[in-house]
A and B are shown apart, each in its own frame.
Chain A
Amino acid sequence: MSEDLRAAVAAGVLGAEESYRSLLRSIVEVARAIFKAKASSIFLLDEEADELVFEAVAGEGSDSLVGQRFPSSTGIAGFVLVSRQPLVIEDVLADPRFSRETAESTGFVPKGLMAVPLLHEERALGVLEVLDRPKDAKFTLAEMELLGLFANQAAIALDLLQRARRARAALEGDGDLTVVARVAAALEERREAEDSSRESALKLLAELEKLL
């Protein structure tokens, strides 16, 4: 609880989640543009459900995919997540199981993909995929490095998004201490208020602190 509470207060909370989602969207859009790919997506690992969730998608299928889930050990994304190893596959159609599963869930069957784990400190947060680079472009290790740099940025954004979500959950939850988080958020909102309510509340809190 205390970590959530800290996150709640530190994030300034409201509106943060939408900003981080925009950041993730921007990352997949740039990844798609740089690799001249047809699509790019970020999957977030939902540890509780042990599932991967489409969190941001650029290109084909972008509207319908966000929010879709599948088991965390499924297919290429699952392998990349669990093994922590980036993979580039040039001709996924050669794998009948892969194409069928993908077609069923997305309506878009890629011919090639690059997938890289999103690692933050010691946690694996999800997977970044870039689908269908131009066929004639030979893959190089320099591109692998670029993909790694992107993954690092995406991992930081995913970490922030998760913190914002925990913060919101702490605010909306019904645990004993959520009132503290709500008070912190209310004080933050009244920072510009012209009446003395914020000042009075702070005095009251100072007294409360002495009492504890």
Chain B
Amino acid sequence: MSTEEEPLPAWSLPAEAVERIALPEVWPGQITREWAWGGATGSGVRICVLDSGIEAGHPMVGEVQQSVAISIEGDEVIVDEEDEAGDLCGHGTACAGVIRSLAPECELVSVRVLGAGYTGSGTVLLEGLRWAIEQGFDAINMSLSTTKQKFAGLLHELADTAYFRRTMLVASAHNMPVESYPWRFSSVISVGSHEQEDPFAYYYNPKPPVEFFARGVDVEVAWTGGGRLVCTGNSFATPHIAGIAALVLSKHPELTPFQLKSVLYLTATNVGGDA
């Protein structure tokens, strides 16, 4: 990319520099789903699932490239890069299965931030997210949030860092009347549920903070022990958007989070999705 040849002034664009920010993508007049992800499989895209772990080898999940566990001992953050605990709840496996069903060839990495108890869970979530952003994943699926104010500022910084480093955070919105983070930040994609069965049906919400609605009611998902369950919750809508994002990014790897969000908007079911 041109930005690597000669750094631009940070916050301005002199006339002679316009050429240098030419976009690598040629955008058609109308963005269609065919253009966005037609023929895509998720190949080449790395998705991180920040959750309760993933049961590798589950028939609905398949291969998991890496499993990492985050814990805190005293003041020290422990990152176990070869976690063998699998999934301590089932939820992470469920999310991974949904992503896999939409983007069969994407890479999946598990970052386990649950299982060490309630105490310290906010710090573990924060450190897990920090680690995941440092790895440069294309997208991070997170169904977790914290209500603790003291983490809001740091989470906001991390969400912005991810956004500028081309890592799309896809986070479950809260459907309860409480302030929680990071889904409320505008640098992430926040997802709520609709009641339809089509995994590719998703709606843009013109009344944020929730930005998109995806399939989240009566979803058949993978669960621990090779099992399957039928589940409902925004946390199952989120991996639908993460999976579709994986498809788009595998076909258009140059897209920034802003552009990816724009593509998702333009291809949403209530915008131009059926075109």
Are B176 and A122 interface neighbours, CB within 8 A? no
A94 to B225, CA, bound (A): 9
Cβ of A112 to closest chain B Cβ, rounded Å: 8
Q: From A73, A90, A117, give the contact of B114 (CB < 8 A).
A: A73
Cβ-defined contact, B121 with A88, below 8 A: no
Within 8 A of B (CB), among A60-82: 71-73, 75-76, 78-79, 81-82
Cβ B176 vs Cβ A79 within 8 A:
no
Within 8 A of A (CB), among B50-92: 52, 88-91
B11 CB to nearest chain A CB (Å): 35
Least CB distance, A108 to chain B, in whole angstroms: 19
Q: Give Cα A85–Cα B231 distance, bound, in whole angstroms.
A: 13
Nearest-neighbour CB distance to chain B for A128, whole angstroms, equals 11
Verify B119–A94 contact, CB threshold 8 A.
no
Closest to B147 in A: A122
Residues on the A chain within 8 Å of B190, using CB: none
Contact, CB under 8 Å: B233 / A86: yes
Taking a contact as CB atoms under 8 Å apart, the answer to whether B149 and A95 are in contact is: no
Bound: A81/B234 CA distance, A: 15
Q: Mask for B157-175, Cβ within 8 A of A = 1, else 0?
A: 0000000000000001011
Q: Whole-angstrom distance from the CB of B124 to the nearest CB of chain A?
A: 9
Known A-B contacts A91-B230, A144-B232; A139 and B218 likewise in contact (beta carbons under 8 Å): yes
Residue tally, chain A, CB below 8 Å to B: 43
Q: Could you say which of B114, B117, B177 has the most chain A C-beta atoms within 10 Å of its C-beta?
A: B117
**Chain A residues, Cβ within 8 Å of B144:** 82-85
State whether B224 touches A95 (Cβ < 8 A): yes
Is B145 engaged at the interface, CB distance under 8 Å to the other chain?
Answer: yes
Which residues of A have CB within 8 Å of B194?
Answer: 141
Q: A91-B230, A98-B90 are in contact. Are A85 and B223 (CB under 8 A)?
A: no
Contacts of A148 in B (CB 8 A): 175-177
User: How many residue pairs bridge A and B at CB < 8 Å?
Assistant: 124
A50 interface residue per 8 A CB criterion: yes
A residues in contact with B145, CB < 8 Å: 83-85
Interface of B is mostly: loop
Docked-complex contact B227 and A82, CB < 8 angstroms: no
Task: Tell whether, in the assembled complex, residue B195 and residue A140 are in contact, meaning their CB atoms are under 8 Å apart.
Answer: yes
Give the nearest-CB partner of A124 in chain B: B147
B132, chain A: closest CB distance, angstroms: 16
Residues on B with beta carbons closer than 8 Å to the beta carbon of A37: none
Which of chain A's residues 29-56 have a Cβ closer than 8 Å to chain B? 45, 47, 50
Interface of A is mostly: mixed
Nearest Cβ distance between residue B235 and chain A, in whole angstroms? 5
Cβ of B179 within 8 Å of any chain A Cβ, yes or no, is yes
A175 within 8 A of B: no
Instruction: Report B-chain residues with C-beta under 8 Å of the C-beta of A14.
Output: none
Most buried by B among A78, A81, A121, A148: A78
* Chain A residues within 8 Å of B218, by CB: 90, 138-139
Q: How far is the CB of B134 from chain A (nearest CB, A)?
A: 23
| Distance, CA A86 to CA B192, complexed state (A) | 12
Chain A contacts of B175 at CB under 8 A? 86, 144-145, 148
Kindly state whether residue B118 has any CB partner on chain A within 8 Å. Answer: yes
Q: Is B146 an interface residue (CB 8 A)?
A: yes
Q: Which residues of B contact A98 (CB under 8 A)?
A: 90
Asked if residues B172 and A87 are in contact (CB atoms below 8 Å), the reply is no
How many whole Å from B224's CB to the nearest CB in chain A? 6
Query: Is B207's beta carbon under 8 Å from chain A?
Result: no
- B115 lies within 8 A of chain A by Cβ: yes
- Which of B118, B217, B227, B231 has the most C-beta atoms of chain A within 10 angstroms of its own C-beta? B118
**Smallest Cβ-Cβ distance to A139: which chain B residue:** B232
Partner of B143, one of A83, A90, A97, A138: A83
B146 touches A84 (CB 8 A): yes
B228 interface residue (CB < 8 Å to A): yes
> How far, in Å, is A26 (CB) from chain B's closest CB?
21
A151 to B176, CA, bound (A): 9
Residues of A within 8 A of B227 (CB): 94-96
Chain A residues whose CB sits within 8 angstroms of the CB of B228 once the complex forms: 94
CB distance from A16 to the nearest CB of B (A): 25
Between A and B, 23 residue pairs with Cβ closer than 8 Å are: A50-B117, A73-B114, A75-B89, A76-B89, A78-B118, A82-B118, A84-B145, A84-B146, A86-B175, A87-B235, A89-B229, A89-B230, A92-B229, A94-B229, A95-B223, A95-B224, A119-B176, A119-B178, A122-B148, A141-B194, A144-B193, A144-B232, A152-B177
Nearest 3 interchain pairs by C-beta? A88-B232, A90-B230, A72-B118
